[in-house]
Amino acid sequence: MNGKFSLPRRQLGLVWQLVLTVPLALLETGLALYIQPGAIGTICRYFLSHLNLLLLNFLPFWLLTLAAGFLFSNSFYGAALVGTLGGILSLVNRTMVEKRDEPLTPKDFRLIKEAGNAVQSYDLSLHIPSLLAIFGFLVLMLLLGFFFRGKRPFGKVWKNLCLALGGAAACVGVFIGCVHTVYASKELYNSFPVRAKYYIAGVFEQLGFPYCFCYNFNQYLVEKPQGFSASEAASYASEHPEQEEEGLPVNVVIVMNEAFSDLTNHPAFDYPEGEEPLRFFNSLKNEENALAGHIVAPNFGAGTANTEFDVITGMQTNLIGGSNASAFRVLNKDVDSIFRVFSEEGYQTSFIHPGQAWFYNRQNVYRYFGAEKLMFIDDMDSPERLGNWVSDEAVLEIMKEEFEAAVSEGKPYFNYTVTIQNHMSYSEAKYGDLPIQQAPLSVKVEEKAQSMLSVYSKGVRDADQMLQNLTEYYSGREEPVLLVFFGDHLPNMGDSYYAYRQLGISLGEGKDADTTLATFETPFVLWVNDAAEKLLDFSSAKQALELPENGVINANYLGAAVLELTGRRDSSSFFSYLNDLRRRLPVYHKGTGIDESGNLFEELPAQYEEDLRKMSFWEYYRLQVE
């Protein structure tokens, strides 16, 4: 006996090391789920009714722990690395949800600089129990790894090295394959019932952070244009130099009305003269102090936020990536916008929407746009509802109050309002016990279609009344006001354009250019009160816009046109470029469009290929590089 004390240590063979990765990965999964927002008991109960969710959250940890175990020849050390990293990511996710109600996704790692800037503005009080749990897990795994070492299976070093590298590579390869197959499945993701599928932070909480994080590897991607050059894109600004002179001090109010369209102007609707749902809009658009047309929105029947993005930033959602691109979900940093143009000139800027702040991540995105004041449903004092949605009339009253409060401070005012009353679905139950006038039709339709069209027409009539009330209100103001009123997308009237087909209206992509564009067209009108008409010399200014004869332009040109109309054509390089491009290529929608001569095309003509290249390069640069 030499008097020295030594701790007992054991060696575990390869089989035991591999078997141990299963309980270790389960422990890592439990750690990540404990740290994420939400009560762990509630999460476990939900998982018990959806056991495949447990597997989906467990599998990434197991595969990566296997990989690390092969590399270290020690499953405990592998678990220490993977579990600690998973715990830290889950803690970052928890902090992001608590501070800005937005979960952590893979795309956030491309924005380290912006994240650093954001951290400085937050009071980062980290969740102490989570920190202790991560530290305790790490210490425990390191201790177990020290006492239970892995035994190399071969006597030759090169054989052990080949096993370590080959095993790790195989596990990582399987993990990557799962991310691009199993975890990429929208059908699987949408099969799990959740409380609110558009509340992404809530979905992460219910389905588990590990699973949702892996799922989002394939979501909200900004695709790099072929041949993209950052230096070339950076040079575009010099081709469209900004002008320092300020625009005209007109108050600008933009109203994007939910599902507003001129569908009820179709001949199939047989309203008596003077009783049409769009009676006021139809008369206003022909007035001298108005300018009307149609925008081609990025989506049909949904995607409100995408239209907001297009109008406010001038960028096209459909150039971001695939057909399921969600513009607000790819945005994680400040971008140039019409909000910033007006804000830099001393305007008070505001956004009003009678919906939840988290919906489409608006509470963060509008900060990225540069909006000074945000108002959501929780900031409103019990506004009137029609059915489940806040009425257009209630939003109108809020807009009046906000306008008066803003101009009383002596500053010009810029506002963007998004309504919600005419949101789908257009069922008989939409307005509760409120009687709905049956829409008179000159064609015979099924009862279901008749009901949908009648309910939708009620919303259109109320939108038209909102427009009339706004013009009457601003007509009585001495401050100059430019009002912009338009729809975000056509209404979804059943599967495969059900109610449209009942009316004899042909919609859908790929049939022909005219039909394709009609699927995405919504009306707009720009109107000025007397004070603004004089200030802007509106008659001359609207002619100088040189809108196409048919009045159809892309949604992403609308904000730029407003800037030009108010004397700010060159206040931003990108918006200056858009005002040039609008005259050259008024409409481009995923290959279909209208050229400067008013000709429809179903494939982009060669003379516009360079225009599209420049547009896509500059957009990618603004989103990912600038």
CA 353 – CA 361 distance, rounded (Å): 13
Beta carbons within 10 angstroms of residue 10's beta carbon = 9
Predicted confidence band at 90 (pLDDT cuts at 50, 70, 90)? very high
> Which pLDDT score, from 0 to 100, does residue 114 have?
43
> Which pLDDT score, from 0 to 100, does residue 8 have?
66
Are the C-beta atoms of 545 and 512 separated by less than 8 Å?
no
The average pLDDT across 231-238 equals: 95
> Which pLDDT score, from 0 to 100, does residue 1 have?
47
CA 199 – CA 178 distance, rounded (Å): 25
**Could you report the per-residue pLDDT of 167-179, keeping only the tens digit for each?**
999 999 999 999 9
Shortest CA distance to 399 belongs to which of 487, 477, 312, 313?
477
Residue in this structure with the two tokens 């067209």, named with its chain if needed: 521
Are the C-beta atoms of 463 and 422 separated by less than 8 Å?
yes
CA 233 – CA 212 distance, rounded (Å): 34
Residue 287 has pLDDT above 60, yes or no: yes
> Which pLDDT score, from 0 to 100, does residue 476 have?
96
CA 131 – CA 35 distance, rounded (Å): 9
CA 67 – CA 21 distance, rounded (Å): 10
% of the chain with per-residue pLDDT over 90: 76
Are the C-beta atoms of 64 and 57 separated by less than 8 Å?
no
Predicted confidence band at 143 (pLDDT cuts at 50, 70, 90)? very high
Are the C-beta atoms of 544 and 293 separated by less than 8 Å?
no
CA 579 – CA 569 distance, rounded (Å): 7
User: From the DSSP assignment, how many helices (H) and strands (E) are in the chain?
Assistant: 25, 15
> Which pLDDT score, from 0 to 100, does residue 613 have?
96
pTM of this prediction exceeds 0.85:
no
Distances (CA, A) of 613 to 221, 471, 549, 583, 607: 19, 41, 26, 17, 11
Percent helix, strand, coil in the chain (nearest 5)?
A: 55, 10, 35
Strand order of the sheet with strand 592-594? 587-589, 592-594, 600-601
Structure tokens at 334: 């400040």
CA 423 – CA 150 distance, rounded (Å): 61
CA 422 – CA 410 distance, rounded (Å): 34
CA 218 – CA 361 distance, rounded (Å): 19
| DSSP H or E segment with residue 600 | strand 600-601
Predicted confidence band at 577 (pLDDT cuts at 50, 70, 90)? very high
The average pLDDT across 585-611 equals: 96
**Could you report the per-residue pLDDT of 446-460, keeping only the tens digit for each?**
999 999 999 999 999
Predicted confidence band at 118 (pLDDT cuts at 50, 70, 90)? very low
Residue 113 has pLDDT above 60, yes or no: no
Residue in this structure with the two tokens 């939910």, named with its chain if needed: 258
**Could you report the per-residue pLDDT of 317-344, keeping only the tens digit for each?**
999 876 456 788 888 899 999 999 999 9
| DSSP H or E segment with residue 386 | strand 385-386
Residue 213 has pLDDT above 50, yes or no: yes
> Which pLDDT score, from 0 to 100, does residue 84 have?
96
**Could you report the per-residue pLDDT of 543-552, keeping only the tens digit for each?**
999 999 999 9
Domain annotation for the chain: domains and CATH numbers = 10-218 (no CATH), 250-625 (3.40.720.10)
**Could you report the per-residue pLDDT of 416-447, keeping only the tens digit for each?**
999 999 998 899 999 998 999 999 999 999 99
> Which pLDDT score, from 0 to 100, does residue 125 have?
63
Out of 91-105, 292-306, 595-609, pick the least confident: 91-105
Residue in this structure with the two tokens 């002619």, named with its chain if needed: 543
% of the chain with per-residue pLDDT over 70: 94
CA 459 to chain CA centroid, nearest Å: 25
Q: What is the mean pLDDT of the chain?
A: 91
Residue 354 has pLDDT above 90, yes or no: yes
